[in-house]
Amino acid sequence: DDELVRAVHRIMSHADASRRLDVRANADNAEDAARARRFGAQGIGLCRTEHMFLGDRRQLVEDLVLATSPQERERALAALEPLQKADFTEIFQAMEGLPVTIRLIDPPLHEFLPDHTELSVKVALAGEGADDKDRRLLAAVKRLHEQNPMLGLRGVRLGLVIPGLFAMQVRAIAEAASAVPGARAEIMIPLVAAVQELETVKDEARAILAEVGVEALVGTMIEVPRAALTAGQIAEAAEFFSFGTNDLTQMTWGFSRDDVEAAFFSKYLELGVFGVSPFESLDRDGVGRLVRIAAEEGRRTRPDLKLGICGEHGGDPDSIHFCHQAGLDYVSCSPFRIPVARLEAGRAALVCEGSDTR
């Protein structure tokens, strides 16, 4: 057994010495962060903050959605801020000075609200005696209903529409970072499609960081095709790009991430459109082309632009190989995939030696 462990260790060390890509983890809490480090993660490439608004905190999100005055909204945000600060503090502590990319809240609001049917039934059964909050929640659920929530009010759009939401998160990140010695925060804006969206959020974030006296990178996800195609402009306002290839694949192919695959993927496999689902292995001709365009144009604007990937593809060997060739700086994947990513990144560097694109 000892011999096997030593052999694995030797192979990993060889891969690590060869690779040019850094390997980070997708982790949303201190436990995952610690696990990621045990597997050799060099940082967190994606901390999804939406998970932090579930459980007991749903109540506060409901208050935020139901707020009818700026005062009510501020009260709800003020209640969330210390909780968020504690979340980020734990993660910074677990990462001990390694970079942590924190993505501001992304998903559609309805995910935090009660189910429409259940609530309708509850309100209808209660009749005259229905709880006032339930009635207001039901009205909000109806108001926020979208036919295509994944293409709707989420990501940066949410941040622009709800004043103070992103600012609350940025302040919590800044204060957590200032409380943990050596903390390295990177703030990431999701679902950006136009530089104006990013500029607005970045300026607000920069002002808060300056006020708290904390240094942090501010960057964006590239996960909407338009963002990839206008990367030269977007890089004016971003210090890093992280490719969100889950959404980028969805929007490039026009496939739904959530439900459509089973209906026709077997036909596509039969036709040879792809050998494996493009959600599993990065489609070089389409999605990959967008990644290359964004990398080249982004770096033309900002030569030191940092580039990473944090979609599921960041843990897939063939996609990691592509990321090496496209000149990315890091891949970020689930903690359990880190050893595979380290090996593949090393292999890609050895195989591509001499024929490097960078």
| 48 lines the binding site for ligand PEP (CB under 6 A) | yes
Query: Residue 137 or 330: which CB sits closer to ligand PEP?
Result: 330
Query: Residue 137 or 227: which CB sits closer to Mg ion?
Result: 227
| 246 annotated to a ligand binding site | yes
| 28 lines the binding site for Mg ion (CB under 5 A) | no
Query: What's the CA gap between 331 and 320, in Å, rounded?
Result: 7
Q: Which two tokens stand for residue 41?
A: 């993660």
Query: Binder to ligand PEP among 169, 220, 245, 334 (CB under 6 A)?
Result: 245
Q: Do residues 346 and 308 make contact, with C-beta atoms less than 8 angstroms apart? A: no
Query: What's the CA gap between 236 and 219, in Å, rounded?
Result: 10
Backbone angles phi, psi at 99, to 5 degrees: -65, 140
Stretch near ligand PEP under the rule CB under 6 A, chosen from 71-79, 180-188, 245-253, 292-300 = 245-253
Q: Shortest gap between Cβ of 106 and Mg ion (angstroms)?
A: 6
Amino acid at 156: V
| 28 annotated to a ligand binding site | no
Report 246-285 residues binding ligand PEP (CB under 6 A): 246-247
Residues 221-260: x where in contact with Mg ion by CB under 5 A, - otherwise, as a string: --x--------------------x--x-------------
Query: What's the CA gap between 87 and 71, in Å, rounded?
Result: 25
Query: Binder to ligand PEP among 87, 223, 283, 344 (CB under 6 A)?
Result: 223
Sign of the torsion angle spanned by Cα atoms 223, 226, 231, 234: negative
Q: Decide which of Mg ion, ligand PEP, none touches 245; Cβ closer than 5 to 8 Å per partner kind.
A: ligand PEP
Amino acid at 152: G
Query: What's the CA gap between 193 and 229, in Å, rounded?
Result: 9
Q: Shortest gap between Cβ of 108 and ligand PEP (angstroms)?
A: 11
| 310 lines the binding site for ligand PEP (CB under 6 A) | yes
Q: How many CB atoms lie within 10 A of CB 7?
A: 10
Q: Which of 102, 105, 320, 311 is nearest to 222 (CA)?
A: 311
Q: Do residues 107 and 49 make contact, with C-beta atoms less than 8 angstroms apart? A: no
Q: Which 8-state DSSP code applies to residue 114?
A: P
Does the annotation count 310 as an active-site position? yes
- Interface size with ligand PEP, residues (CB under 6 A): 10
Q: Which two tokens stand for residue 109?
A: 């609001």
Query: Residue 26 or 325: which CB sits closer to Mg ion?
Result: 26
Which residues are near Mg ion by CB under 5 A? 223, 244, 247
Which residues are near ligand PEP by CB under 6 A? 46, 48, 106, 223, 244-247, 310-311
Residues annotated within the binding site for substrate are: 48, 103, 223, 244-247
